[in-house]
Structure 1
Amino acid sequence: MKSIFSLILVLLVSTSYGQEINNSSYKDISEGLNWRCIGPFRGGRSAAVTGVEGKPMLYYMGSTGGGIWKTKNGGNTWENISDGYFGGSIGSIAVSSSDNNVLYSGGGEVTVRGNVSYGYGVHKSIDGGRSWKHMGLENSKHIPRIRIHPKNPDIVYAAVLGDLYKSSDDRGVYKSINGGESWEKVLFANADAGAVDIIMDPENPDIIYASTWRVRRTPYDFSSGGEGSALWKTTDGGKTWEEISKNEGFPEGTLGIIGVTVSPVNPERVWTIVENEKGGIYRSDDGGETWENTNSDRNLRQRAWYYSRIYADTQDENKVYVMNVAYHMSADGGKTFSTHYAPHGDHHDLWIAPEDPKRMIIADDGGAQVSFDAGANWSTYKNQPTSQFYRVTTDDAFPYRVYGAQQDNSTVRIRNRVDWGTISEDDWESTAGGESAHIAIDPENNDIVYGGSYGGFLTRKNHQKNQNRSINVWPDNPIGYGAEGMKYRFQWNFPLFFSPHDSKKLYTASNHLHVSNDGGESWEVISPDLTRNDPSKLGPSGGPITKDNTGVEYYCTIFAATESYKEKDLLWVGTDDGLVQVSRDGGNGWVNVTPPGLPEWSMINSVEIDPFSDGGLFVAATSYKNGDYAPYLFHTVDYGKTWKKITNGIDENHFTRVIRADPNKIGLLYAGTESGLYISFDNGNNWEAFQQNLPIVPITDMTIKHGNLIVATQGRSFWILDDMHLIPQYMEKKPWHLELFKPADAIQMGGSTKESKTEGQNHSGGVRVHYFLEKELAEDDTMSIRFYEGQNLIRSFSNKPKKDEGELGDPELGTNLLVWNMRYPKADKFEGMLMWWGTLQGPKAPPAEYSAELFLNGERYGTGHKFKILKDPRSEGSEEDLRMKFDFLLDIRNTLDETHDAISDMRLIKSQIKKMNELIPEGKNQDVVDKGNDLDSILTEIEKTLYQTKLKSNQDMLNYPIMLNNKLAHVASLASMSNDRPTEQMMLVRDDLTKKINEQLQKWKDIKNVEIPAYNELIRNGKINVIGLPEE
């Protein structure tokens, strides 16, 4: 039998060579652990986009948390181009108009909402984004604008907004004249007001307008405006600046954020959008000397701090665009505006092509969209895996679903894997709650889901009946109010969870802990106020110009909570004002057990039960909203009486959002930070980066399910690590030379390694086998991996495959991955064979125990490893039924294999007969000729009975009916459709077709065993010259 077997082979290359691997440094062997992004492919917030002049299909997007993306087909698909270099939040991106291979990126978004992420300074590419170099300004935190000199890409300006949470001198407008190698601060307002917008005069690049903005966030407040907020102009390339917001006609009083643009058609025409008590659109027709208020419509300037961007049309000096919830366009110089909508709302950036103002790209809370007709139509945002998720949880369905709330969109539940192909939009749907939710799934019914949202909003969704019900603890809408007047203070992202000991007990938390035993129909308060309850931090948020009370800044609330699955009634809560409280009696009594090393007013972001300690808890806290970016992780084993800080090895600026403990391996911990993932093998005493192919992105939450580590990110959707079972194996032994790791048990379900730019990565399916190579194989070394059921060899894969062996490829240094799709070898196929709805696939190995073994030069290496293939839980058939199905399909496979080998052999015989007849001179050896012709006729009739020989194209079967082999293969296709035993009719048809096939095969065997030898004897007796010249 030929080795025609469906194999997925992935070689994941390690950078190690000859290193000794030990328990505390396993990077070299762990390179084989790869993450996959499951989606959803539904864009998250973007505030930075640009196109390229003269290249109508080429655009760039900077996402908030997800790095930089590029489309070369007008927004149909997007590809990340910053992975491997940097990541995080992008505030600006610019392309040089004189050399469009030169790009500059500024980190840190301008949309400084409650979950804002900072960036990592300036990066530059000189090859269109294929590679990047860090160019400094690493303390900038937020760079909302970069502008490049139109004729010299080495001259570049960066608007640095700076740290949102504390005063800093690292603010203002910076200029580089050497391509970013060094920077000079050319404009500085003060330590609390940074630069937010820059625009160049298109005719004279030494004329520049810039705005500065005083903005500050605290854990409990947000302010926009004040001293330092201003509009500036330079006419000498930044050497000197004039504050032109003091000029005639500009609004007086406190200024906030200011957006500015210049008409490329008439550079004397300058527009601004101004946050002010008398704010709105202000226009100057004399380069900023005087100003006129042309429009004060609040639709253009609502929630000013979040928008306030303005853009001049590239060919019409009277046309101007303003970004807000919708985007607005004026064609009369800013006097009146029409309202327009892109596919998503909340717009933050716009680029208009200089040569064609109908061509544009817009950035909003759904990512980026491209238009070629001035906004009449836009590309989709449902092709960008840049969703921002707050939390993650899973249900108990199969395949299990991953749940989370996407900022600026709905909640989501998405399958972690599917039977084939990629994880598409068909595999996810919205669920309970809103954009900021914690989600809890009914332990007894995966289709009843509970979800929260800001303002204390709580819903219960029944997916089976498509019904939603509001179950707020206290349905008094707080929008627009500060926290001081609330009966219960619910944070933007408040906890929601079921008791692990009582499937009816649902908890949620405000500044109190609440419990419901009737699905949210009624609620009981089971704690006092567990926060600091500081009145000075409970006032309205916003100002000094505009209030902004959405609930993001509601403070002194419970932010993390759980009930121990090890001990009933053991409750832990962590507050956003820095307290840890514990109750051991179901909430009747509480003890403040806050770790003494935790800074005051920190946020307890997550709490995690220690699986191996009855009184154990891990805590992840952040204090970045107080201007402290350090990691804070703590561990207690005595119910909070004592604590140990466990952050050694984590970067001092990677603040920690979440910690999770492996439930199967003591000491194995995972920590999610603002800048990636870490792992510890010794209960947090030491940490190492654990990034693999996971992008640099804020990790907001993690959960562990069925040996998978699932992470929620703030800017790159959901990611899954399928092979967690390898990590404890990596911890057990040193040094590694040549090693086959124990595979995880596999489920008899399909999968795919197909990659897509618009859909999530599926699980590969099959049995995933990892093996490690410390040194290169010698040229004559033969390595193979073999699979057995008992002593029966099922399948072998080799780097030098022989007949019946699969292709292992060339094993690389480090960790390699072989995926066996669980199938036995397929039936042979002869040349030119066509079929209509019939399968030659070998059957999948049935549920049972198997083993994998590694061989080097024919010798078994190590002891091998046992694993199980498990029944698909969705299967309606029993394991006995599946074994019967396997036997049935294997029998068909064997019959087809024998049939097709016979057809190949018969064709070979016929070709040899034809050649023999051509060698015999006319009129001689007639007995040989006649015998050969008779054999040819008989063989032709046998083949025509087994296979339709007239088939030449894929739909010829509609004209020439299929024959026995196709009919039998069709029965195999039908039996393969379900995970159950074959029907009685299938078995009857199989038996009937097999009988008919065997009759033909017996005729062939008789010819092969009797007639062919007789034919050969005639040839010998006829003394036919096989080699010779034609007679003359």
Structure 2
Amino acid sequence: YERIGTPHGDHHDLWINPSNNTIMAIADDGGGQVSYDTGENWTTYHNQPTSQFYRVTTDNHFPFRIYGAQQDNSTVRILHRSPDGSINESHWESTAGGESAHLAPHPENPEIVFGGTYKGYMMMKDHSTGQTRSTNVWPDNPAGSGAEVMKYRFNWNFPIMFSPNDPNKLYAGSNYLHVSTNMGQSWEVISPDLTRNDPETIKSSGGPITQDNTGAEFYANIFAMAESSIEPGVIWTGSDDGLVHVSRDNGKTWDNVTPKGSPLRNMMNCIDIHPTQKGGAYLAATSYKFGDYTPYLYKTTDYGKTWKLITNGIPSNYYTRAIRADKVRPGLLYAGTEWGMFVSWDDGDNWQPLQLNLPITAIRDLHLRDNTLIAATHGRSFWMIDDLGPLQQIDDKIAMAGHHLYDPKPAYRMAQGGGWGSPNTRLVGENHPNGVLFNFFVKDYSDEKKVELKIEELDGTPIRTFSNKSKDRGNRLNVSEDKNRFVWDMRYEGFKEFDGMVLYSSPNRGPKAIPGTYKATLTVEDEEVSQEFEIVKDPRLPNSPEDFKKQFDFLIAVRDKVSEAHQAIIDIRSIRDDINYFSKKLKEKEGYDEILAMAKELDKKMSVIENNIHMTKNQSRQDPLNYGIRINNRLAFLMADQQRGDFPPTNQADEFRKEVSAELDTEINNLDELIRTSLREINLKGREMGVQIISDRFDKVVKP
């Protein structure tokens, strides 16, 4: 045999093309790679989301970051949303711990992260300095020996966490529960051995020829733990050899509350505290290592005195690793299995799949944060549902309705956009939508139905209306059968446009809505459903409400002046179209020379005004580099320029607005004067001659 080099190790599968054995594919802990030359060269694994995560948690950074450890790779912390158009390599970094780590970012300083790995190794990493520190509970290295030589037995994936009630209290689980209140400087044991402590499970691993004691094979240790946030001092642990314990006095005393009927060595993989019921908890366990693929999910409401098995609806071979209770809706549960996601609306009595667009993959852990649900998959990286509102709000009444608009979650007003070009979607993650998320459904939808989503201020002032019938792409509402999602970018309407408009560096984006409460109404045919929603300030900003209001008022004023300028252009060109139309009809006829000369002179004077307002030579994107921009473009650029960030306008910006607005007012007044005089004279003379030169829509300004 000859060794073949590959980009990664720990190979799982090898496929050789039966028709051409120079083509082969491998799957390993790095991902998948392909060779077309019998293994001489391989494709990269850096183009696929195939990370194998064990656990998932988040920190209190804004935006929050997601943490996890990858099998045979680094630990990761990654933004759940970025200021760019996507989530790319610049938005993640390695953090504390090793490939099998539980991670615990400090609640008050997310730059401090604790992470574990096998053999009981634990470290603290300070991202602000780059320094790391060993914080092992007991710094003895047991390499090459069985777990029986260890003072404290730590699992390959031993749990660590900060207390939800005390930011200075850090827990770690071996076969005992340990606590530190000084950042790992010292540790206190606050429990007896909480495992079966069976000598047969802690012997040296491997054999009979060679031993294999890497630390991955240590058993009889705590594998899951949780502390109640509604009952300080209530702590739960679950061991990998089948025991569940609870303490109601901060670890002074413990009760064995293992569910009756649970398999002898059921690995207690996840414990979640009931969000409102004191004494309540949920448990996910698995015995897959013994060939038992049965799902084991339990719940208790009496501190574990009694447990109920809650797996109805989950296939009998979908073994379970994670269960989490929704923080908003009592009885709404989420479960992760070896073959995907499940949801229950009745506290676990019945389950149904929640796969959506998630690939069929193993779910190792789940985490709820800010009304999102994050899944740590073992093979397809992190996935997130970014708004749980529909799952929390659905009920029989809503389900029976013909259409419904769900209550939107609060939306942060924050800077988020993209750079030049489109990202390679194979190399980036999907960003959190930048705007207000509207989830709605329309049953029995057809294109004949008119569907509108109207957004307005609470006093009824209209902001935007989106419709499936709109011809304007910017106000188009795409609707399909049943579930729909629409993201409003929080912007008011932009300025009025005209055909052939070319502006320099002045995108037509309306002002952003200021933080506050707004109203949305979904109308299907003539039936309405309304919801109020919140736009929330980016908590990193020092801005006052007055700052937002000043910027908004300024931008609205500029927008309206640009619209006024463009309406003048539209009016001028409409009048010109009428003049041109009748000039062609009348130029061959006798007796109309005078009125045609008057119309030509009017057009000439209007052209001067038109070109003062807008550079008419600008016909393509590059033309503004050759010809000086005019009043409308100067104002439009001011509008774009003053939307950089969330700041009130500078003094000079307001001075410039007033100055250029005065220039526009002069041109508008000149146009109005022409309409009142020259245009009126042309129409009066035309009526005397039996013709209507200018459209009736100008009568309101033509009449004396």
The aligned residue for residue 866 of structure 1 is 532
* 1:945 paired residue number: 612
C-alpha separation between the residues in 2 aligned to 1:804 and 1:492?
54
Change (3 A) 1:349 1:743: closer
Cα 1:348–1:728 change in 2 (3 A) is closer
- The answer to whether structure 1 residue 908 and structure 2 residue 577 are counterparts is no
Query: Is 1:397 matched up with 2:61?
Result: yes
Letter in 2 for 1:688: Q
Q: CA deviation at 1:923?
A: 9.2
Aligned to 2:701: none
Cα distance in 2 between the residues matched to 1:905 and 1:970: 23
Contact (CA 8 Å) 2:683, 2:692: kept in 1 or not? Answer: no
Q: How far apart are residue 915 of structure 1 and its match? A: 4.2
Letter in 2 for 1:426: S
SS in structure 2 at match of 1:771: strand
Q: 2:512 aligns with which of 844, 862, 866?
A: 844
Aligned partners of 2:403 and 2:524 also within 8 Å: no
With 489-498 and 909-918 compared, the bigger mean Cα shift is at 909-918
Identify the residue that residue 573 of structure 1 maps to in structure 2: 237
Q: Choose from 323, 345, 349 the match for 1:685.
A: 349
Question: 1:345 and 1:951, CA in 2 relative to 1: closer, same or farther beyond 3 A?
Answer: farther
Equivalence for 1:895: 561
Determine if contact 1:411/1:435 at 8 Å carries over to the other structure: yes
Match of 1:963 among 627, 630, 643: 630
Task: Give the CA deviation at 1:347.
Answer: 4.9
Aligned to 1:991: 658
Give the Å deviation of 1:498.
0.4
CA contact (8 A) 1:885 1:981 kept: yes
Gaps of 5+ in 2: 694-704
Q: Distance in 1 between matches of 2:349 and 2:16?
A: 53
Is 1:407 aligned with 2:71?
yes
User: Is the 8 Å Cα contact of residues 403 and 413 (structure 1) preserved in structure 2?
Assistant: yes
**1:426-453 deviations in Å (ceiling 9; x for gaps):** 2111111111110111011111111111
Aligned to 2:461: 792
Instruction: Provide the residue aligned with 2:700 in structure 1.
Output: none
| Residue deviations 1:590-614 (CA, integer Å, cap 9, x gap) | 2211111211011100111111221
**Is 1:740 matched with 2:405?**
yes
- 1:880 corresponds to 2:546: yes
Deviation per CA, 1:869-918, whole angstroms, max 9, x where unpaired?
A: 11222333222211221121112111112212221322233344344444
Q: Indicate the structure with greater strand content.
A: 1
* TM-score (structure 1 length as normaliser): 0.63
1:411 positional shift: 0.9
Determine the structure 1 residue equivalent to 2:702: none
Amino acid of the residue matched to residue 386 of structure 1? Answer: T
Q: 2:315 aligns with which of 651, 659, 665?
A: 651
The one of the two structures with greater contact order (alpha-carbon pairs below 8 A, sep at least 6) is 1
Specify which of 522, 547, 553 is matched with residue 854 of structure 1: 522
| 1:175-214 superposed matches below 5 A | none
Higher helix share: 2
Provide the secondary structure at the position in 1 that maps to 2:610.
Answer: helix
Shift in CA distance, 539/425, structure 1 to aligned 2, threshold 3 Å:
same
How far apart are 1:661 and its partner, in Å? 0.7
Going from structure 1 to structure 2, the CA distance change for 1:988 and 1:356 (only over 3 Å counts) comes to: farther
Change in 2 beyond 3 A, CA 1:1000/1:395: same
The reply on whether 1:615 has 2:279 as its aligned counterpart is yes
C-alpha distance after superposition, 1:978-1027 (max 9, x if no partner): 1222222221222222221222122222223332222233444566799x
CA distance in 1, matches of 2:317, 2:443: 35
**Which of 633, 657, 660 does residue 297 from structure 2 map onto?**
633
Counterpart pick for 1:527 among 183, 186, 191: 191
Structure 1 residue 622: Cα displacement: 0.7
Q: Is the aligned partner of 1:1011 residue 2:675?
A: no
CA distance in 2, matches of 1:752, 1:625: 47
1:459-517 Cα distance to aligned partner (Å, 9 max, x none): 11111222222222222222332211112211110101001121111111111111111
8 Å CA contact retained: 1:853, 1:860: no
| TM-fit CA distance, 1:570 | 1.5
Assess if the C-alpha contact under 8 Å between 1:622 and 1:655 holds in 2: yes
In structure 2, the partner of 1:430 is 94
1:439 and 1:467 mapped to 2: Cα distance?
17
* Worse overlay, 663-672 or 998-1007: 998-1007
Looking at structure 2, the residues matched to 641 and 358 of structure 1 have their Cα atoms a distance apart, in angstroms, of 61
Residues 375 and 996 of structure 1, relative CA distance in 2, 3 Å threshold:
farther
TM-score if structure 2 supplies the norm length? 0.91
Partner of 1:944, secondary structure, is helix
- The 5 Å alignment of 1:75-474 reads 281=1, 321-323=2-4, 327=5, 342=7, 344-347=8-11, 362-370=26-34, 378-474=42-138
Change in Cα spacing, 1:968 to 1:508, as seen in structure 2 (3 Å) is same
Q: How many residues align?
A: 686
Give me the whole-angstrom Cα distance separating, in 1, the residues matched to 2:692 and 2:559.
Answer: 42
Return the alpha-carbon distance in structure 2 between the equivalents of residues 793 and 588 of structure 1: 61
Residues 871 and 879, structure 1, Cα contact 8 Å, conserved in 2: no
Q: CA deviation at 1:759?
A: 1.4
Distance in 2, Cα, partners of 1:467 & 1:996: 60
Q: Does 1:771 align with 2:453?
A: no
SS, match of residue 469 in structure 2: coil
- For residues 756-810 of structure 1, the C-alpha deviation after alignment (integer angstroms, 9 at most, x for no partner) is 233111222222222233334594x43322222122222222333489993234x
Write out per-residue CA displacement over residues 230-263 of structure 1, whole angstroms, 9 at most, x where no aligned residue: xxxxxxxxxxxxxxxxxxxxxxxxxxxxxxxxxx
Query: Letter of the aligned partner of 1:408 in structure 2?
Result: D
Shift in CA distance, 808/953, structure 1 to aligned 2, threshold 3 Å: closer
Q: 2:144 maps to what in 1?
A: 480
Post-superposition shift, 1:706? 0.9
Please list, as runs of the form range in 1=range in 2, the aligned pairs for 1:661-810 lying within 5 A after superposition. Answer: 661-731=325-395, 733=397, 735-749=400-414, 756-776=425-445, 779=448, 781-790=449-458, 791-801=460-470, 806-809=475-478
Pick one of 663, 668, 671 that aligns with 1:1001: 668
Shift of residue 373, structure 1, vs aligned partner: 7.7
**For residues 17 and 262 of structure 2, what CA distance do their matches in structure 1 show?**
51
* Residues 139-172 of structure 1, C-alpha deviations (whole Å, 9 max, x = no match): xxxxxxxxxxxxxxxxxxxxxxxxxxxxxxxxxx
| CA root-mean-square deviation | 2.7
- CA shift at 1:579, angstroms? 0.6
The change in CA–CA distance for 1:948 and 1:581 in structure 2 (over 3 A counts) is: same
* Map of 1:97 onto structure 2: none
What is the alpha-carbon distance in structure 2 between the residues aligned to residue 374 and residue 1015 of structure 1? 86
Q: Secondary structure at the match of 2:3?
A: strand
Alignment match, 1:94: none
Q: Give the C-alpha shift of residue 937 in structure 1.
A: 2.5
Instruction: Name 1:501's counterpart in structure 2.
Output: 165
Separation in structure 2 between the aligned mates of residue 966 and residue 879 of structure 1, nearest angstrom: 30
| Structure 2 counterpart of 1:972 | 639
Match for 1:813: what amino acid? E
In the alignment, what sits opposite 1:820? 488
**Partner AA of 2:653 in structure 1:** M
Query: 1:358/1:1021 Cα in 2 relative to 1: closer, same or farther (>3 Å)?
Result: farther
| Alpha-carbon shift at residue 370 of structure 1 (Å) | 4.6
